[in-house]
Structure 1
Amino acid sequence: MTLLNTFLFVFLLSTPYSHAQQVNGKNHGRNKLPEIGAAGFSALSIDKEQLIGNAMMKHLRASQPIVNDPVLIEYINDLGNRMVRNAQDVHYNFEFFLVNNKELNAFAFFGGHIGIHTGLITTAETESELASVVAHEISHVTQRHLARKMEAQNRNQPLTMAGMISGVLLTLINPTVGMAALSTSMAASQQASINYTRTNEKEADRVGIQLLANSGFDPMGAPNFFSKMAEQYRYKSKPPAMLLTHPLPESRISEARVRAQNFPARQIRASLQFELAKARLKARYEGNAQDNIKRYLIEIEKQRYVYKEAAQYGLAIAYFENENYEKSHEIIKSLLTKDQNNLFYIDLFTDLHIKVKNFPPILERLEKLNLLMPNNQVVALNYANALNEAENYQAAEILLQDFLLVQPNNFIAHDLLTDTYKKQNKMAMMHATKAEVFALLGAYPRAIDELQTGYNYADDKPLVKKRIKARIIQLQEQENKLKRLN
C-alpha cells in the first residue's frame, strides 16, 4: 500500500457521527530565501492535497471542540490572512480555526488549514507573539512540509509508513497520544522522521520570521515567544503539546533571535482586537462566571490591563454569563458609544437584547451594519439570530440564503438556517439544510438520509425535489472522490 493510500485508508475508517452530534449539536523581507515551496508535488498533487485537507477538516469538526464563535473566527482569519497576502507559494485559500484547548499548540495540514489552540492566544503577551506562531504554520503550508515529509519517508522506509501515518492526524491534535502512536514505528524510520522535522522547523522559522516582518508585525515576537515557552517549561516533566511537535533546542531560539535582529527594530502599538479576543476567551470559555467577575474587577481597580476597554469587555461577558444582564448592558453600551462598529461589542450587545427580548434597538443597529459590512459573518449571523428570535423568520431565511451564497461552508449559518426552516414548518428545506450540516462533518450517509427525507416532504414542490436530487448526486460524488484516492 502506498503512503498516500495508507493515510487515506486510516483516515476513511473514522467517521464519528454520534460524537459529531454531541460536539456540534448545541447551541516584504530582507533575507533571501530558497524557492523550495514547490517541492513535494511528486508525492501529492495540489488538487489531492486540497481534497484530503477538506476531508480532514470535516473530521476535525466532528471530533474536536472547534470554536464555533463568529467573532473569534473573524479575528483569527483576519490575523492569518494579513500574513497570507504577503506569503509566496500560496496555492489555495487558507482556513484558520480555533480549538478550545488550553494546551499550547498549533498545527497545519493539507490544503491550507491551520488550527490554533485557544491556550496560545491567552498565553501570548502581544499580537506579534501570536502572529509569529501563525506565520510559522503558514510557512509549513507554503513550503509543503507534510507532502515533502511523506515523499521522503516513502522513499527511505516505504514498508514502515502504515504505523507512522496512522498517527499523523492524532499527533497534530493530541501530540502526547499521537507521538506514542508514532513511536511504535521502526527506530531507523523514526529517527529519519525526527531529522526531517527539525529541518522543516528551521525552514518554517526562517520563512515565518520574514513573513512576520513583511506583514507589519514585530519579528522579535518569534524568538520572544520561543524563549518564554522554553523557560516556562524548562524544568517541567510534561511540556506543552507545541514543544512535542515543535522542539525548541537553544540553537533554534538563538538562530531565530539572530534572524529577527536582521530586520529594523519596530515599535508596534498594542492591539485592542487581540486584547478583546483574549478577554472573550477567558471570560466565556475559561473558569466560572463568578470567579471571572472578581478577577476583572480587580484588574480594573488595580489597572492590570493593556487596554481598559478589553478588561471592561471581559467583565461585561462575565456578568452576562452570570445572568447579571443589567450590569453587562451598562458596560457594553458605554463601550459602544466610543466604538460603535466594534464587532466584539456588537455580538454581546445582540446577546443581551435577545435575552431580555428587546428586539427593535438591536435589529435597527444590525440592519445598518449589514448595509455597511455586507456578508460579514459576525453581523450577518447575529442579525439572522436576532430575526429568528424576533420571529421574523422570512427575513432571517433570505439573509442566511444570501450569506451562504458567499460562504457556502459556514457551519453556523447552515445550523441557523435549519432552525429557521424548522420554525416555519418548511420540512423539505429543513432536512435539506440539515444535510449540509452533516456534510460539513463528513457524515455523507447521514447527509444523504436527510436529503432523501426532505425529498419525501417535497411532493408538491418539483423544483425543490430536483435540487435535492442533484445535491444527493453531488454528495455521492464527493464521497466517491475520497474512495477513488484510496
Structure 2
Amino acid sequence: MVVVPANAQRGKIPIVRDAETEALLKDYAKPIFKAAGIAHSEPEIILVNNKSFNAFVPDSRRMFINIGVLMEAEAPSEVIGVIAHETGHIAGRHLVRLRAAAANAQIIAVIGMLLGAGAAAAGAASGSGQAASGGAAAALGATSVGKRSLLSYQRGEEAAADRAALKYLNATGQSPRGMLKTFQRMSEQQLFSRQYADPYAQSHPMAQERYNGLLNQAQKSKYFNQPEDYVLQYRHDQVRAKLFAFSSHPSATLRAFPRSDKSPAAQYARAIAAMKSRGKGAVKEIDALIRTQPNNPYYYELKGQALLEGGDPKRAIAPFRKALSFKPNEPQFLVWLGYALVGANNPAYLPEAERVLKKAIQRDSNSGVAYGQLAIAHGRQGERADADLATAKGLMVRGDFDAAKRYAARAQKSLKRGSPAWVQADDIVAYKPPDLPNRR
C-alpha cells in the first residue's frame, strides 16, 4: 500500500494506492455500473487518504471514495450503497445540470446585487441612510436566494441519486439495507446539530429525511433480507483491517486487534503493524501469515514491501515475483518489482527493471513512482535523455509542470528530432495547464 501525499501548492487530493482495495472496489462497482448503463465508460474509482465517511464524483470519469467509507462500513452492502448513489449522479448527468443550475443561481445573485447597489446609490444621492442600508440588505438577500436556489437543486439531485441507487441494487439482486444503515449512521452523527440546522441551507437533504424517504421503498425490495456475500464479507474485513493498520500507529492497531483475536483480518493487521514498527520480527510474522494462505498475492506483496522498506531490496524481489505469479498484469505489483530490481543496485537487473516498469506504466500511466524508478534505471545504463524524459513524465503526473518542461527540454536536445520520444518531450514542453480559479 502506498500513500501519495497531496501537493499543497496545487491543491491536489492525497491519494492511496493499494491493489487489494482497488480490486475489491471494482468488484463492488462492476454490477452497479452495468445496471446503470455506464459499463462501457467505467469510471475510475480513486481512494482518498481521508478517514471521514465521504465520497464524491467531480465528473463522469472519476469517483473518489475516502478510506473512511471502507473503515467505518461493517459490511460490503454499505460501501456498495455509496457506490450506487454516486453512480446515480453519473448516470443521471447531474454534474452537467448542476453547472447550469450554479450559473442560474449566480445570475439571480448578480441581478439582486445590481438592484441592491442601485437602491443604495439612490439612497446616498437623496441623503437617505435608510434607503442605502435597505439596498445593501436587498443585495445580501438576493445572494442568499441565489445560494438557496442552488442548494435546493442539489438536494433534489441527491434524492434522485438515492432513488437511482435503489433501482441499481434491485436490478443486481442486492439488499438496500446497507444503504439504509449508512443514512442511519449519518443521522446519528447529525443528532446534536440537527435542531440548529437550517434544512434549506444544506446541499444534501438531512440524513434522517433521506432515511425516512428511502425506508418504505427499500423495504419493498424482494432482496431486502438478502444476506451479505460471505466471500465479499471476508475480503471486506481484510481490507478494513489493512486500511486501519496502515493509517494508524502500530500501538493503536495492537489495541484494536489484540493477540487474543485469531481472525484472519486481525492477523493481517498485526503483521502490518509489525512491518510499520520496523522490528526484526516483521518478516517472520508475515511469513506466518503467508502459511495460513499460501496463494494470497497480497501477503507476498506485504512481505516484499517490508523487505524493501527495511533496506533489503534484493530479498524483496522474490516475494514480488511470487505476487505477480498470481496476478501477472497487476500494475502495482509490477511497480514494486521494478522498484526492488532498481534498488538491488545490480547492473544485471536494470534491463529487466526497465521492461517491468514500462509494462506497469502501460497499464497505469499515473504512477509517479514507476516513472521515477524508470528514470533511475535509464540513468544507470547511461541513457540520459531517456532518464530525463521519464523524469519529466513523472513530474507531469505530480503536477509540477514547470520542472517537467525543464527536463523535457533537456531530453529533446539529445533525442532524434521527430522520433516518438522527441515528440513526447515536445508535447510536455508545449503543454499549457488549464486555468484554475484562485482559492483562498
Q: What TM-score do the two structures reach when normalised by structure 1?
A: 0.71
Q: Name the SS for the 1:97 alignment partner.
A: strand
Aligned to 1:234: 191
Q: Is the 8 A contact 2:342 2:350 kept in 1?
A: yes
Q: Partner of 1:272 in structure 2?
A: 234
Q: In structure 2, do the counterparts of structure 1 residues 154 and 402 end up closer, same or farther at CA, with 3 Å as the change threshold?
A: same
**Which residue, out of 350, 362, 374, partners 1:417?**
374
Contact 2:85 / 2:164 at 8 angstroms: preserved in 1?
yes
Alignment partner of 1:133 is 2:82: yes
Q: How far off its partner does 1:423 sit?
A: 4.4
Mapped to 2, the partners of 1:421 and 1:244 lie a distance apart of: 53
Amino acid at match of 2:165: G
1:357 aligns with 2:312: yes
1:390-428 Cα deviation digits (max 9, x unpaired): 232221110111222233233442233234334445332
Write out per-residue CA displacement over residues 40-60 of structure 1, whole angstroms, 9 at most, x where no aligned residue: xxxxxxxxxxxxxxxxxxx99
Task: Tell me whether 1:308 sits opposite 2:257 in the alignment.
Answer: no
Name the residue aligned to 1:253: 211
Closer, same or farther: CA 133–148 of 1 in aligned 2, 3 Å: same
| Amino acid paired to 2:206 | L
2:424 maps to 471
Task: Indicate whether 1:321 and 2:281 are aligned.
Answer: no
Rate the CA distance shift 1:418–1:93 in 2: closer, same or farther, 3 A.
farther
- The share of aligned pairs that are identical, in percent, is 22
Q: CA deviation at 1:103?
A: 2.2
Match of 2:358? 401
Residue 432 to residue 96, structure 1, CA distance change in 2 (3 Å): same
Residues 183, 208 of structure 2: 8 Å contact kept: no
1:113 aligns to 2:67 (yes or no)? no
Is 1:99 the equivalent of 2:48?
yes
Q: 1:390 aligns to what?
A: 344
CA distance in 2, matches of 1:440, 1:280: 27
What is the alpha-carbon distance in structure 2 between the residues aligned to residue 256 and residue 102 of structure 1? 26
Matching residue's letter, 1:479: K
Residue matched to 2:5: 23
**Aligned residues of 2:88 and 2:164 also touching (Cα < 8 A):** yes
1:333 aligns to what? 287
Q: Structure 2: state its 5+ residue gaps.
A: 111-139, 436-440
Name which of structure 1's ranges 365-374 and 142-151 shifts more when overlaid on structure 2.
Answer: 365-374
What's the CA shift string for 1:236-282, capped at 9, x where partnerless?
5899xxx9653334332022222222222201126222222221221
Question: Secondary structure in 2 aligned to 1:96?
Answer: strand
317-326 vs 372-381, which deviates more?
372-381
Instruction: Give yes or no for contact 1:131–1:217 (8 Å, CA) kept in 2.
Output: no
CA distance in 2: counterparts of 1:130 and 1:479, whole angstroms: 38
The reply to whether residue 79 of structure 1 matches residue 37 of structure 2 is no
Structure 1: unaligned runs, 5 residues or longer:
1-21, 26-58, 162-182
SS of aligned partner of 2:183: helix
Structure ranking higher on relative contact order (CA contacts 8 Å, 6+ apart): 1
Q: 1:216 to 1:446 in 2, by over 3 A?
A: farther
Contact 1:210 1:219 in 2 (8 A): no
Corresponding residue SS for 1:114: strand
Quick one: which of 203, 209, 213 aligns to 2:166? Answer: 209
Provide Cα deviations, 1:178-236, integer angstroms capped at 9, x if missing partner: xxxxx998112111111111111111111112323444543211011110221133115
Q: Could you tell me how far 1:99 is from its partner in structure 2?
A: 1.6
1:247 is paired with a residue whose SS is coil
Q: Measure how far apart 1:377 and its partner are.
A: 2.3
CA distance in 2, matches of 1:214, 1:416: 45
Aligned with residue 289 of structure 1, among 237, 241, 250? 250
**In 1, are the aligned partners of 2:313 and 2:343 still within 8 Å (CA)?**
no
- For residue 396 of structure 2, the aligned residue among 439, 450, 462 is 439
2: distance between equivalents of 1:150 and 1:479?
24
CA distance in 2, matches of 1:473, 1:254: 57
2:334 is aligned, of 366, 370, 380, to 380
Tell me whether 332-341 or 345-354 shows the greater mean CA deviation.
332-341
| DSSP 3-state at the match of 2:169 | helix
Give the Cα separation in 2 of the matches to 1:476 and 1:140.
Answer: 37
Please say if residues 55 and 65 of structure 2, whose CA atoms lie closer than 8 Å, have aligned partners that are also in contact. yes
CA RMSD of aligned residues (A): 3.3
Q: Deviations over 1:319-376 (max 9, x none)?
A: 11111242x333322332332332431221112333262745x534543543542321
